[in-house]
Each structure stands twice: as structure tokens, then as C-alpha cells.
């Protein structure tokens, strides 16, 4: 039987193409399961998972929780706002206390880049990174590629432009790694101040003209400006950002081709995309959310099968 090359999902950086193929094949099976009248399988009845969220989240937290429930795992949830972290406890102490209650897997979102890698070195559990600061968000990139594969048949050879705040976005970095690994062509588009200096090292081209980028691509992945990660202003005003980098129906209708619009959520309607685009047939935003559950089921199932029981 095939298995993942890793014991944790810390970032797409640590995966190979075979891992991604295996996750997608497994997700195909789980997608069929969650569309049945009884949307559950007993696979992980003997596994306990802790969801540790040290940063705000709606979609990702609910998606992981649902994925775990659909696999029949036992789960405990923890959010930093109501925890002893506020009393000065360290991350390792917090997690080791939770693990002593016989927890097998930890799904963690944390504001510090590298928090998952750090934890994986210090505690005895399988770690899934649900977003570490501006670093990686591997399950988001997997569900994004899975949604492209579902819509267009495959990811290889497709042209994807990632638009917006590339500098502060973990979705951007994980998507770049995942798309390149699968043989897609990737460009980024946004204000120069929000494009990281190392971008060319990732073999990604920069296009500062949104219209040119849209005319080139098959898919545009629109990102939210990560205001919570900015201490200074990176562009003159939100209005000017939207004028240059926002996608509206008028621009899409003026292109000679159909472009698929993706967004990881939460959307700031009227900033990165207008409502008529978000709610149009161009957008596959709700498919992404639906696929998120199947992809996370696949990741958790495959990692759990590597835990010695
Ligand atoms: C993203 C995140 O948290 O990184 N959202 C998500 O997980 N669905 C993107 C964002 O917050 O803009």
C-alpha cells in the first residue's frame, strides 16, 4: 500500500509529487463518502486529535473539525483566547499537557512562522500545520490544487496567477510550492511593495499589470490583504489598491477568455473582488470550501495510518 513520505504535514515544501497524487486519490474517495446520505466512515475510531488554534479562523477550523468527525476520530478543541497560554505557559508545555491525555495528532494554527516545525521536533504526535503566520498553509494549497484538477482535469500545464498580498500570505507560498511541484506555470501580481524580494528564486514571474495577468492565465487566485500582519502601509489606500488589483465583472467580461476565479476566504467583498464576481459562474470559491473537507480527511487519514498503534 502507498504511504506518505512524511509523518507530519508541516508545509508543501516537505512533500513530493507522489505524496500530492496520493492525497488527491484518497480525497476522491472521501469526496464520494461525504456525498452519501451517511457521510461518515469508522476509519479513525481509535485516534484522538487536538485542534489548537492560536490565531483566528472560521473555515479552516470548521473544515478540520468536520473532516475529523467524518472519519470518526475523537476530537478536542482549543482556542488561544480562552487558554492558559494567556497565563504565560509555553507552547511545548501546553501541547505536552494535552498529549498526556493520550492525543495522537495535533492540528495547529499559530501566528509564528515555523511553529509547526518546532513542535514536531519537541513532542510525540503527528503535527498538521493549519497555517503558521505568513509562512505556509499546506492544506489550503492542496484543496486549491484539488479544485483546479476537478475543474480542469489536471494541474500540470495550467497557468495560474496569484493576485494580491504575496508578501504576507501563507496561501501564496504554499500554492507556489504545490503548483510548481505539479508542473503548473505560476505568476504573481500585486503592488511591488507586496511582492517578496526572493520571488524569482521560486521560479515565479512577476506581472504588475492585472489585465495582462488575467489575459495570460487560466486561473486567478485572489488573496486578501493581510492587514493583521502589517505595521506600516504598503499602498496608498484601499481604493487605489482595488482600482489596480481588484477584479470586477467588467474586467472579466472584457477578456477574450474565460478565467476561473479562486479565493481562500475570508473575502473582503469590493476590495480584492466585487460581489458580482464572487457570486458568478467564474468563481469556484464554494467548491474550494467543499473540497477542503475531503482533502483534510485524506491528509488526516494518511498521516494516521503512519502512527504506530
Ligand atoms: C487564509 C488564511 O487564514 O491564511 N484563509 C483560510 O485559511 N481559509 C487566507 C486569509 O486569511 O486571507
Q: What is the pLDDT of residues 116-149, one digit of tens each?
A: 999 999 999 999 999 999 999 999 999 999 999 9
pLDDT of residue 66: 98
Q: Is the CB–ligand 1 distance for residue 265 below 6 Å?
A: yes
CATH 3.40.50.1370 domain span(s) along the chain: 12-136+289-304, 138-286
Q: Is the CB–ligand 1 distance for residue 13 below 6 Å?
A: no
pLDDT of residue 177: 98
Over the chain, what is the mean pLDDT?
Answer: 95
From CA 179, how far away is CA 95, in angstroms rounded? 32
Q: Is the CB–ligand 1 distance for residue 147 below 6 Å?
A: no
Candidate CATH numbers 3.40.50.1580, 3.40.50.1370, 3.90.1150.10, 3.40.640.10; the one for domain 12-136+289-304: 3.40.50.1370
Question: CB count, 10 Å around CB of 54?
Answer: 22
Q: Is the CB–ligand 1 distance for residue 111 below 6 Å?
A: no
Question: CB count, 10 Å around CB of 121?
Answer: 10
pLDDT of residue 90: 87
Continuous segment of H or E residues that includes residue 238: helix 238-245
- Three-state SS for 150? helix
Phi, psi torsion values for 273, nearest 5 degrees: -145, 150
Q: Which atom number of ligand 1 is nearest to the Cα of residue 226?
A: 12
Q: Any idea which of 94-103, 169-178, 258-267 has the lowest mean pLDDT?
A: 94-103
- CATH class label, 138-286: alpha beta
pLDDT surpassing 90 at residue 308:
no
Amino acid at each position: 500500500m502507498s504511504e506518505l513520505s512524511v509523518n507530519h504535514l508541516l508545509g508543501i515544501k516537505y512533500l513530493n509529487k507522489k505524496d500530492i497524487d496520493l492525497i488527491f486519490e484518497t480525497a476522491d474517495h472521501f469526496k464520494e463518502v461525504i456525498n452519501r446520505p451517511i457521510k461518515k466512515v469508522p476509519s479513525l475510531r481509535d485516534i484522538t486529535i487536538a485542534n489548537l488554534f492560536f490565531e483566528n479562523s472560521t473555515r479552516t477550523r470548521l473544515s478540520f473539525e468536520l473532516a475529523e468527525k467524518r472519519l470518526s476520530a475523537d476530537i478536542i478543541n482549543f482556542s488561544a483566547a480562552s487558554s492558559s497560554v494567556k497565563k504565560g505557559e509555553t507552547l511545548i508545555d501546553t501541547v505536552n499537557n494535552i498529549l498526556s491525555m493520550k492525543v495522537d495528532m495535533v492540528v495547529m494554527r499559530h501566528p509564528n512562522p515555523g511553529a509547526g516545525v518546532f513542535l514536531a521536533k519537541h513532542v510525540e504526535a503527528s503535527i498538521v500545520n493549519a497555517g503558521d503566520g505568513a509562512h505556509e498553509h499546506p492544506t489550503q494549497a492542496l484543496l486549491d490544487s484539488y479544485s483546479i484538477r476537478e475543474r480542469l482535469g489536471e494541474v500540470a500545464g495550467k497557468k495560474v496567477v496569484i493576485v494580491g498580498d504575496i508578501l504576507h500570505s501563507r496561501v501564496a507560498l504554499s500554492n507556489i510550492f504545490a503548483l510548481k511541484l505539479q508542473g503548473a506555470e505560476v505568476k504573481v501580481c500585486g503592488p511591488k511593495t507586496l511582492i517578496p524580494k526572493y520571488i524569482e528564486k521560486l521560479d515565479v514571474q512577476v506581472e504588475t499589470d492585472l489585465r495582462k495577468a488575467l489575459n495570460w492565465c487560466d486561473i486567478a487566485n485572489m488573496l486578501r490583504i493581510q492587514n493583521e500582519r502589517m505595521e506600516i502601509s504598503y499602498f496608498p489606500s484601499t481604493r487605489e489598491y482595488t482600482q489596480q488589483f481588484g477584479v470586477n465583472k467588467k474586467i472579466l467580461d472584457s477578456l477574450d477568455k474565460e478565467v476561473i476565479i479562486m479565493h481562500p476566504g475570508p473575502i473582503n467583498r469590493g476590495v480584492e473582488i466585487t460581489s458580482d464576481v464572487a457570486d458568478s459562474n467564474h468563481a469556484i470559491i464554494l467548491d474550494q470550501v467543499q473540497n477542503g473537507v475531503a482533502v483534510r480527511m485524506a491528509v488526516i487519514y494518511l498521516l494516521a495510518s503512519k502512527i504506530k498503534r
